[in-house]
């Protein structure tokens, strides 16, 4: 299916599979430093996901798949089956919200269970992880096509985005940021407004970095400026990614996405969610069922050890929120778009 290889250069990449090891660009250090980490086996990959060395739903799933491949490579000849299963369980504990993680682990488990020897498992699991990686890149390119059909822009326009959904968050190119790249390639993009995305600053540290590297016109704004930007009539669409999409079309994505959807509806700005079908979880009826990760309060209280708030002040730090389907104009995947999503539209594409 995929006509791209996993390490095909699309400019920025988040991870590099070297055939027998996995290297991850440490996203905690960007944009100050480009530092690559060699993940130490499946446990090392799980730790890198938990610590956000690698983040973004598709990139988490791809990394976990390579983690399973590493588990087979490092397994002893004795109870290698138990070792790989243990690694899968450990990877599944790394972060709770992005369903791409569990989707990738299920896929790896399916391949693993058909293997009859450790040598076969080592080969097949590495090949499957590369397929998952390549398919994600191909899906991103296909999503950009579908998204432009939905937007049908007649002339260059500006859009607003949240968090980072680019090459750093995926197998390459990006989901929402892939759509933005495609608009730019087609000369249909005036400017991207990038929310800084408190508290982890994926927008300022990662999205602004990716876009400036590729000479795509970007204006960074504080999250609280989104309403004023929409009120000024400057943006036609808000384009975001997703961590989990449920059967009724509700969407979990980076905290603050729901705010944007409410604002977009008020200001008659289009609201589009762009994600691969590996982000769709038809087993969950609605967004209420999605486990929402809460991270440590230090992410809000301080930045790189510098206090931004009184020490020990109580913090509420959910890192995702749920946007109800009723506020979404289109969910775009590589399989096509669901406009005005609801259970019927979702089932038609993902049953
Ligand atoms: O906490 P993060 O940085 O992993 O959250 C990332 C997001 O919420 C993205 O919008 C989502 O994963 C889609 S990435 C293509």
Instruction: Tell me, using a 6 A CB cutoff, whether residue 4 lines ligand 1.
Output: no
Q: From ligand 1's centre to the CA of 55, what distance in Å?
A: 6
Q: Contact 238/256 with Cβ under 8 angstroms?
A: no
**Residue 16 bridge partners (DSSP):** 23
Q: Which of 118, 179, 111 is nearest to 146 (CA)?
A: 179
pLDDT for residue 282: 98
Q: From ligand 1's centre to the CA of 240, what distance in Å?
A: 9
Instruction: Tell me, using a 6 A CB cutoff, whether residue 95 lines ligand 1.
Output: no
Residue 98 CA: nearest ligand 1 atom is: 12
> By three-state DSSP, how is residue 284 classified?
coil
Q: From ligand 1's centre to the CA of 254, what distance in Å?
A: 6
- Within 214-330, residue ranges assigned H as helices are 226-231, 257-266, 298-301
Pocket-testing residue among 57, 60, 204, ligand 1, by greatest number of atoms within 8 A of Cβ = 57
Sign of CA dihedral 115, 119, 122, 123: negative
Q: Going by CA atoms, what residue is nearest to atom 10 of ligand 1?
A: 241
Task: Report the alpha-carbon distance of residue 251 to residue 273 in Å, rounded.
Answer: 8
pLDDT for residue 10: 60
Q: Contact 265/231 with Cβ under 8 angstroms?
A: no
Residue 292 DSSP symbol: P
Instruction: Tell me, using a 6 A CB cutoff, whether residue 98 lines ligand 1.
Output: yes
Instruction: Tell me, using a 6 A CB cutoff, whether residue 58 lines ligand 1.
Output: yes
Task: Report the alpha-carbon distance of residue 109 to residue 121 in Å, rounded.
Answer: 10
Task: Report the alpha-carbon distance of residue 168 to residue 173 in Å, rounded.
Answer: 8
Residue 60 CA: nearest ligand 1 atom is: 4
242 CA to centre of own chain: 7
Length of the chain as a residue count:
351
Q: From ligand 1's centre to the CA of 176, what distance in Å?
A: 11
Measure the CA dihedral 336/341/342/346, to 10°.
Answer: 10
Residue 253 CA: nearest ligand 1 atom is: 8
Residues with Cβ < 8 Å from 52, sequence gap 6 or more? 27, 28, 200
pLDDT under 50: residue ranges of the chain: 1-9
Q: Which of 204, 191, 291 is nearest to 237 (CA)?
A: 191
Rounded to a whole number of angstroms, the CA Rg of the chain reads 20
Instruction: Tell me, using a 6 A CB cutoff, whether residue 55 lines ligand 1.
Output: yes
pLDDT for residue 11: 87
**Which residues are part of a known binding site for substrate?**
55-57, 95, 202, 253-254
B/e letters for 56-85, b = 16+ CB within 10 Å, e = fewer, are bbbbbbbbbbbbbbbbbbbbeeeebeebbb
B/e letters for 297-335, b = 16+ CB within 10 Å, e = fewer, are bebbbeeeeeeeeeeeeeeebebbbbbbbebbbbbbbbe
Residue 176 CA: nearest ligand 1 atom is: 15
Residues serving a catalytic function are 243
Q: DSSP letters of 159-181?
A: EEE-S--SGGGSSSS-SHHHHHH
Classify 172 in phi/psi space as left (phi over 0), alpha (psi -120 to 50) or beta. left
Instruction: Tell me, using a 6 A CB cutoff, whether residue 256 lines ligand 1.
Output: no
Q: Contact 170/279 with Cβ under 8 angstroms?
A: no
Q: From ligand 1's centre to the CA of 200, what distance in Å?
A: 11
Instruction: Tell me, using a 6 A CB cutoff, whether residue 140 lines ligand 1.
Output: no
pLDDT for residue 3: 36
pLDDT for residue 64: 98
């Amino acid at each position: 299916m995929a006509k791209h290889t996993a390490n095909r250069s699309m400019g920025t990449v988040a991870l590099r599979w070297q055939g027998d090891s996995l290297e991850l660009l440490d996203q905690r250090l960007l944009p100050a430093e480009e530092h690559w980490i060699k993940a130490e086996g499946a446990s090392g990959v799980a730790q890198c996901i938990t610590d956000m060395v690698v983040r973004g739903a598709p990139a988490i799933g791809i990394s976990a798949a390579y983690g399973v491949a590493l588990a087979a490579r490092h397994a002893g000849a004795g109870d290698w089956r138990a070792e790989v299963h243990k690694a899968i369980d450990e990877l599944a504990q790394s972060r709770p919200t992005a369903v791409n993680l569990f989707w990738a682990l299920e896929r790896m488990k399916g391949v693993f269970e058909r293997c009859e020897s450790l040598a076969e498992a080592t080969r097949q699991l590495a090949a499957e992880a590369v397929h998952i990686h390549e398919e994600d890149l191909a899906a991103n390119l296909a999503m950009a096509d579908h998204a432009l059909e939905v937007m049908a822009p007649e002339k260059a326009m500006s859009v607003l985005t949240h968090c980072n959904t680019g090459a750093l968050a995926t197998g390459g190119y990006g989901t929402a940021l892939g759509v933005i790249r495609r608009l730019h390639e087609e000369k249909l993009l005036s400017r991207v407004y990038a929310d800084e995305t408190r508290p982890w600053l994926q927008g300022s540290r990662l999205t602004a970095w990716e876009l400036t590297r590729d000479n795509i016109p970007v204006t960074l704004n504080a999250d609280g400026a989104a309403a004023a930007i929409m009120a000024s009539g400057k943006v036609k669409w808000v384009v975001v990614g997703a961590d989990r999409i449920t059967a009724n079309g509700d969407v979990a994505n980076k905290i603050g996405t729901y705010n944007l959807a409410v604002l977009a509806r008020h200001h008659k700005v289009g609201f589009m969610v762009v994600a691969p079908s590996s982000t769709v979880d038809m087993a969950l009826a609605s967004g209420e069922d999605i486990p929402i990760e809460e991270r440590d309060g230090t992410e809000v209280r301080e930045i790189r050890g510098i206090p931004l708030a009184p020490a020990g002040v109580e913090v509420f730090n959910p890192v995702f929120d749920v946007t109800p389907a009723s506020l979404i104009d289109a969910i775009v995947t590589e399989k096509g778009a669901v406009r005005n999503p609801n259970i019927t539209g979702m089932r038609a594409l993902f049953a």
